[in-house]
Structure 1
Amino acid sequence: MILTCPNCETQYFADESTIGESGRTVKCAACDHSWFVGPEGQAEGEKGPIAGAHEAYREKVRQRRLRASRSAAVMAWLIVGSLFGATLAGGIVFRDRVVEAWPQSAATFKAIGLDVNRFGLEFLETEAERYFDGTTPILEITGQVENTSGRERRAPFVRVLLLDENGAMIGESFAPITPGQIPAGRTASFSTRVENPPFEAFELELQFATEDEASGGPQSVADAGTSDDELQAGVDD
C-alpha cells in the first residue's frame, strides 16, 4: 500500500502485513510527523478536523507561492519594460547621433513625427541672386550655417534644389561648406553658381548632403530633407 504523510505529503510504500489487522502508528522520516494508519491504509482522522487543518494550511502555502511567483513575473516584466523604455527614450533623446551612426533610422524617426538633424548644422542667412555674366544667366546662392550640435562637426555639402511653382524639382546643384571642420557654436559659409538656371525656377530648397551624395554616389535612405536641416527660399528675379 501507499502511505502519505498528512503533514508534508511525502509518500511511502509499505507492505500491508506491517500494518496488521488492527493498524499501527507510523512516523514520517521526512518531517517526524506521526499518525495512525488503519488496516486499509487510511490515516486515522484523515477526513477529520486535523487533516482538514493540514489541507487548509497546505492550500495557503500553495496560494502564497502562487502569489509570489506572479509577483516575481510582474516584477520581471516591469524591469524589462523599464529597460526597454529607457533604451527607447535614450534613442529618442540622442536620435541625431543614432541617425549619424545609422542613417537608415532617420526614416523611422520621421515616420513617428520626430525631426532629425543628422549633420548637427542649421542654415542661417541665405541669399539667391540672378545676374548675367556676359550673356550667360547666372543664379548665385550664398549663405551661412551654424554648428548647433555642441561638438566639432565635419562640414557636409549643401544641396540646392531648384523648384518650379508647383514644388517639383527641375534642377539641383551642390556647394561645399568652408571651412571643412566646424567647431561647436561656430559658423561656416557656402556659395554656388548655377549657370543657365531653368527659367521656371521659382523657389529654392537647401539641404545638407554627404560627400557620396554630392558626388553622385549611393544616397542614404535617410534623406537630409527634414525640417531641422532644410531651408526653402524664393529666387530673386
Structure 2
Amino acid sequence: MKLTCPECTQHFSVPDNAIGPKGRKLRCSKCGHQWHQTLEMLAQQKAPKPEPAALPAAAESAPADSGEEEVVPFGRFGSGEADPDAEPDPAGTDEEEDQEGVFGAPPIPRGRMPLSRPPKTRSKRLIAIAASVILVVTLGILFGARGSLVAAWPPIDRLYATIGLGVPVIGEDLVIQNVAAWRKTDGSIELLIIKGEIRNPTEQMQTVPTLAGKLTGTQGDIMQEWLFRAENQVMLPGEKTDFEYELPQPGADAAEVTVTFSERALGGGLGY
C-alpha cells in the first residue's frame, strides 16, 4: 500500500499489513511530520478525484504530468531495503506490536527510555581504596596511641579490653601486700617508715617496676610523693620480695600512705 505524508505529500510504499485496524503513529522521514495513520484515511486518499478540464491542443502534445511524485520506498524494512511487491505477512496482521522498527523513520516511541551509561567502576574502586587507607591509618593511630588515649580518658580502656587490645597496666601481674607505715624519731629528725611485700603469683619470671609512694593528709590533700625500688628487681614464679622506705619530716597532718607501681624511671639520689 501507499502512504502520503499530510505535510509534505511525500509518498511511501509499505506492506499491506503495516497499518492495523487501530492505525498507528508515523513520522515522515523527509520532513519529520508526525501523524496517526488509519485505514479510513487511506480510503479517503483512494477516493476518485474530479477529472481536470481539457487542455488546449498545444498542451496535449506536451508530456502529461500525472500529478504523482516518484514513489520513494521507506529507507529500511527489517534489516534490508523495502520491497513494495513482497507478499504481506498474514501472521502479523492484527499484531501492531510486531510492526515497530520496519520504517525508515521509526514510529513515535510510547515512552522515553533513559540512555544507558557505563558503570563508574574506576570511581568506585578509588573510593574503596581511599576508605581502606583511612581505616588502616585510623586503626594504626588507635592501636599505637592507646596508652595516651587511656591516660587522657580512662573509660576508653574498656573498649580496648572488649576487642582484646586492652592497655597493659604496669605491674599488673604482681601483687603489693602487707604495707605498713609508722613514725620514728632519729635524734631530732622525725621519720615515716614504710614497709611491705611484692609477690609474683604467676608462673613466669617478672621484672619489678619502680615503686611510687604517696602521703595524703587528713583533708585528702597530697603532702609528698616519691619513687623507690624494691629489694629485688627480678622475681621468680611464686617468689616474694620486700621493700622499705624512710620518709623524713612527714608532717603532723600525715594520715595515709599509698604504694603503687610507676612507669617513671627512678632518678639518682632517690629510693632505697
TM-score, length-normalised on structure 1?
0.48
Bigger relative CO (Cα 8 Å, ≥ 6 apart): 1
Higher normalized helix content (fraction of residues): 1
Rg larger in structure: 2
TM-score, length-normalised on structure 2?
0.43
Higher normalized strand content (fraction of residues): 1
